[in-house]
Amino acid sequence: MRIATITNWAYGATVCLTLASGIVMLMASRADDVERQAVKQRQVFDQLTEEVETDAWMLSDLARLFVIKKEPSVLEEYQQKERELKNVEHRMTLLKDNGASGEELLLLQEGLKIIDELQDEQKTALDSTARGEDRQAVALLFGTYYEQELERAQIQLDHFRQILDKRIIADVQAATKTSKTLRTASEVMVGLTALLFLFVMGFILKRRVLHPVVRLSDVVHRLASQDYAVETPNFTQIDEIGDMAQAIRIFRENGLARQRLEKERDADWAVRELLARMTQRLQGCENIADVINVAELFAPNIAPGVSGRLYILDREAWEMRSAAEWLYPEGVKEPFHPDACWAVRRGQSHPPVSGEPDISCYHLPESQDRRSLCVPLIAQGEAIGLLSFQNITPEAAPSRAYLELMAEALGLALANQRLRDALLEKALFDPLTGLRNRHHLEDSLRTQLAQAARSEEPVSCLMIDIDHFKSINDRFGHEAGDQVIKSVAAVIQRAVHETGVAFRYGGEEFLALLTGADEKAAHACATEIYTGVQALSLRYGLSEIGPVDVSIGIASYPQHAQSDSLLRAADVALYRAKELGRSRIVSFGGLEGG
C-alpha cells in the first residue's frame, strides 16, 4: 500500500475521531448544563418556599401581637405582610413552568391551602378584637388547633422540600454520571487520536509532523489525567494537526470550565454548611458575649480574606459601637452615629452593586470606598447593629446573599438576647427599688446555704421593716411612700453590696443575705443600715416627711438556725423587735439567751 494512501487513511480516521471527540465533549457539556439547571431550579424553589414559610410565621406572630397589644402599627404591618405573601403565593403557582412535578405541586398547594386557612383564622381573630371580643381572639390564635395547623403547614412545606431534594439529587447524580461517562469516552477518543498521530509520524516528514505531534501527545496525556493547567500549543496551519490542536484547546477550555464550576459548587456548599453551623451555635448562645464569640469565629471562615467588624447599636447613647472584628480591618473602631452608615439608613445592604460608583458610608476609610459592603442587622423592622465588610473582591468574596444571611442570623440572635435580658430583668428585680425580688430569694438562699455547708462558713439573714409605714402613706400618699421605700432600699444596698445580696421581701419589708457573716458581723451591718436610715432627710413636695426608722431582726446559720429555718428565725427576731416598740435591732441569739 502506498504511503500516500496510508497517510490519507490515517488522516481520515483522525478527522473522524476528532469529530466524534468534539461531539462527545459537547454532550458532556450539555450534561453539565442539566446539572447546573437542576441546582438552579432547586435554589429557586428553596427561595420561594422559604419566603412563604417566613412570611406565614411572621403573619401569625403579627396577628398574635395585635390581639395582645392592639397597636395600629402592628395591624398595618400585618396587612402589608399579607399582601406580600399573596404575591409570593402567586409566584408559587407558576412553578409548574419551571419543571415542578405533580406530586410536588400537590404538596405545595396543600401547604398554601393550610396557610390561607390560617389567614382566615387570623382575620376572624382580628375582627373579634375589633368588636372587643379579646378572649375569643386570643383563644383562636393561641389555641391548640391553630398551633397544630401552623405546624401542619410547616410539615407540608418541609415534605415538599424533601421530595424536591430527592428529585434534584437524582437528576444531579444522573447528569454527573452521564458527564463522567462522556468525558471518559472523549478521553479514550483523544487517546486513539494520539496513537494514530504517532503511527502517521513514521510515514511523513519528521520536520513537519514529529515536533507538533510530540507536543500534542504530551498535552493529550496530561488532559487525560485531568491536568487542565497544561498550555496547549498554538498550531494555526490548516491541516489535521491544526484541527487536533483546536480540538484539544476546546477540550481543555471545557475541562477548565467544569473544574471551575465544581470548585464553585463545593465552595458554595461549604459556605452553606458554615452558615447552618453558625445558626445552630447562635441558637445555643446564653448572652450577647456568646453571640460576639460566634461572629468572630465564623465570619472569617464564611468570607475568607474579607476583614470586617460587628457593630451593636447602643440605644442610650444612640451610636454604633464595635463589638468584634476579624482579619484586621482598616480604620479605627470608634463609635459613630447610625446615620453615618447608608446601609442602616436604607435598611438594606450598601452599596447595592459592589465596585460600582456609589456614595460611601461615612464611617469607612477612603481606601475602602469601592471594596466595602455594609449589611444592617434588622430585627422586627428595626436596625440593632451592623456588619461592615472590607476588601470585598469578586474573586475572594462569597455571594452577597450569604453575607446577608449571616447578618440576618446575627440580628435575630442579638434581638433574642436583648429580649431575654429584658425578661430576666423583669423576672428577677423589683422595678421600684432595683433590688432583687422575692421570686429570686429561694434560689439565692439555697445556693448560699449549700456553699456555706461545704465551706463551713456562716450565713446571716437580716429582716428589715419600715416602722409606721402605713401612717406615712395615709398622711402623704402612696407616691411619698414609694419615695421612702426607694430611699431605704438605697441605704440597704450600700450596706450589703460587698458582703451579700439585698431583696425586697414585701411592701415595706426587706431582706438581706450576708455570706460569710456571723452574728457579730451581721449586727454591724444592721447597725449601719439602722443609722443610715435615721440619717435620711426626706421631703415630698413642700412637706417634710419626718424621721424614718426601721426594725431589724437578725438570724445566723448555723449559730441560730438550720438551713430550712433561717428565714423563720430572722422573722421571729423582727417580730420581737416590733413587740419591744420598733426602731431597734434584735438578734435571734438574744432571744435564746433570754
How far is residue 327's CA from residue 308's CA, in Å, rounded to a whole number?
Answer: 7
Q: How far is CA 354 from CA 101, 218, 241, 302, 404, in A?
A: 37, 42, 45, 18, 14
3-state secondary structure of 480: helix
Beta partners for residue 386, in sequence order = 311, 376
How far is residue 329's CA from residue 237's CA, in Å, rounded to a whole number?
Answer: 54
Q: Is the CB of residue 536 less than 8 Å from the CB of residue 554?
A: no
Burial of 34 (0-12, 13-18, 19+ CB in 10 A): middle
Rg (CA), the chain: 38
The residue whose grid cell reads 464569640 is 293
The packing angle between helices 206-224 and 240-283, to 10°, is 20
Task: Write the DSSP string, 284-301.
Answer: T--SHHHHHHHHHHHHHH
520 Cβ contact partners less than 8 Å away, ≥ 6 residues apart: none
How far is residue 284's CA from residue 462's CA, in Å, rounded to a whole number?
Answer: 39
Active site residue 508: yes
How far is residue 244's CA from residue 482's CA, in Å, rounded to a whole number?
Answer: 96
User: Per the structure block, which three cell numbers stand in for 18?
Assistant: 476528532
Instruction: Centre a 10 Å sphere on the Cβ of residue 173 and count the other Cβ atoms it contains.
Output: 12
User: Per the structure block, which three cell numbers stand in for 310?
Assistant: 460587628
How far is residue 67's CA from residue 128's CA, in Å, rounded to a whole number?
Answer: 9
286 Cβ contact partners less than 8 Å away, ≥ 6 residues apart: none
Beta partners for residue 556, in sequence order = 460
Q: How far is CA 524 from CA 349, 517, 581, in A?
A: 60, 10, 21
How far is residue 468's CA from residue 166's CA, in Å, rounded to a whole number?
Answer: 76
Find the catalytic residue in 77, 89, 325, 508: 508
To 5 degrees, how large is the angle CA 474–CA 477–CA 482? 115
Residue 541, sorted as left (phi over 0), alpha (psi -120 to 50) or beta, turns out to be left
Burial of 427 (0-12, 13-18, 19+ CB in 10 A): exposed
Strands, E assignment, 293-390 = 307-314, 319-326, 373-379, 382-390
The residue whose grid cell reads 487513511 is 9
Q: Is the CB of residue 466 less than 8 Å from the CB of residue 484?
A: yes
24 Cβ contact partners less than 8 Å away, ≥ 6 residues apart: 182, 185, 186, 189
- The DSSP symbol for 230 reads S
User: Per the structure block, which three cell numbers stand in for 346?
Assistant: 436604607
Which residues participate in catalysis according to the annotation?
508
